[in-house]
Amino acid sequence: MGFARACLALVGVEGVVVEVQADLEPGVAAFTLVGLPDKSLVESRDRVRAAVVNSGAEWPQKKLTVGLSPASVPKSGSGFDLAVACAVLGAAERIDPAMVADVVMIGELGLDGRVRPVRGVLPAVLAAAEAGYEQVVVPEQTAGEAALVPGISVLGVRSLRQLIAVLCDEPVPDEPAHGQGRPDAMLAGLMIPGTGLGAGLAPAAARGDGHRPDLADVAGQLRPRQALEVAAAGGHHLLLSGPPGAGKTMLAERLSAVLPPLTRQESLEVTAIHSVAGILPPGEPLVSRAPYCAPHHSATMQSLVGGGNGIPRPGAVSLAHRGVLFLDEAPEFSGKALDALRQPLESGHVVVARAAGVVRLPARFLMVLAANPCPCGRHTLTGAGCECPPSVVRRYQARLSGPLLDRVDLRVEVEPVDRADLLGQGGRGESTEVVAARVRDARARAAERLAGTPWTTNSEVPGHELRTRLLMAPGALAAAERDLERGILTARGLDRVLRVAWTVADLRGADRPDASDVAVALELRTGIQRGVPMGAGER
């Protein structure tokens, strides 16, 4: 007797519908699992057998074969346990096969029959919806995450015993809830150890003590603050260079709060990535704010762009999708890791090829680089006693390659804070709320202008469109054309200057950029003074 039903396997951050088939034949009792399973999936044979027996059902004493189709797709993880158990019970006629023919089931089984949550539920349910399925069964702890997908009926269960009762139209037994006042051990399956606030996946100032990072906390630094506003309004990459203690990290940590809230589609994209990576906080199924990721400078190339054994897992560039990727002490990163960022900076995604397959991971992020002028950090300070030889300084600054810096739109020098600003005598700067309001207005203008196109921010618009369809005021490009002829700008650099100029115009409410907007964009990119006010929203 054969039986078939559907489950989901995850490849990267995309779900693939997998059909679970169970076949019972007369013969010596045995359990065979086929279909390219990994070690954790092979071990499901023992988990499923114990869970079925401890749930009050009889294990069939026949030759049992469970197949995972399509067999050419590698399967990994413990999320198949629930589907395998139902397939076996259907083949043994304990439940009606027709009841689960069009139901997707995701979940790990404990030896006592409890259904444990697994990572990657949201992308799995999204794939189920795209394949035409309307009903899913998931662990109770992840029911809220699965319910984010519209048009899907979600059933959250605590145990296999409850699921059998629902499918057989029997009284549903009460399963005791987890003890109050203690951490839920079931939630351990949703988080990868070491991915808390200290792992660079949230601003360091957001420690859960009620204090939120605010731009008003930054003393002075008018020009870097304005560059931060331009970066948030247009999605432009930013380089902050200056001596230690000037406030580079403080500025970068406050950028994610300036970014507008994520749209519904963007929230689903970010939540799916974080669910697969195991960093989705339990009890918060939907990520609504722009993420912030700050890997340590010892990070490898695989940890930045994605990789690992078997099917590649999302890296830092994917965890920062629709948010901020902050690389503090950027010259200390390996050259191989930094150069690997070139492709996602241009395309908005990264393609990772491994022996187990090729995975395409989304990676449209806003990159912020922070760098010191030399190894000791005192090279640009007068009388600070920098002892770094010129050759060491040149070698240190050359670690940020030219092709990588060519993809950075804004380059700002962060000067040391003077005494008046540090002691508050110069007054507090604008708060995050005020700056974020201007950023939202600027993005709304850009979205209205780009309506009907596949782009939403100025940083995404191709250079051809900027030069042919989105025309500037007459004579506005004269200074940029001179810099291009002198070799100060490359062709890619000119396109990025045009994008920044549109963002500056959006911040001050103009219909199109003029010569002064282009001058501001050139100064932000080249660092050469152009004699124009740097205020993004003023003249």
Say if CB 253 and CB 326 are below 8 A apart.
Answer: yes
As a whole number of angstroms, the distance between CA 12 and CA 496 comes to: 31
DSSP 256-296: HHHSPPPPHHHHHHHHHHHHHHT-PPTT--S--S--EE---
Per-residue pLDDT of the chain (539 residues; tens, 9 = 90+): 555 565 766 665 777 888 898 998 888 999 999 998 888 889 999 999 999 999 999 999 999 999 998 888 888 888 999 999 999 999 888 988 888 878 899 999 999 999 999 988 999 999 889 988 999 999 998 999 999 999 999 999 999 999 999 999 999 998 877 555 555 666 665 666 545 443 456 554 454 555 678 888 888 788 899 999 999 999 999 999 998 888 899 999 999 999 999 999 999 999 999 988 888 876 778 899 999 999 999 999 999 998 877 677 899 999 999 999 999 999 999 999 999 999 999 899 998 887 767 788 999 999 999 999 899 888 877 766 788 898 999 999 899 998 899 899 999 999 888 777 777 655 677 899 999 999 999 999 999 999 989 999 999 999 888 888 888 888 888 888 888 888 888 888 889 999 999 999 999 999 889 999 999 999 998 877 776 665 544 44
Instruction: Kindly report the pTM of this predicted structure.
Output: 0.88
Beta partners for residue 103, in sequence order: 135
Six-digit token pair at 27?
């013969």
Confirm if 275 and 122 have CB atoms less than 8 A apart: yes
Question: Coil, strand, or helix at residue 14?
Answer: strand
Residue 85's SS3 state is helix
- Measuring CA to CA, which residue among 372, 369, 353, 351 is closest to residue 361? 351
3-state secondary structure at position 25 = strand
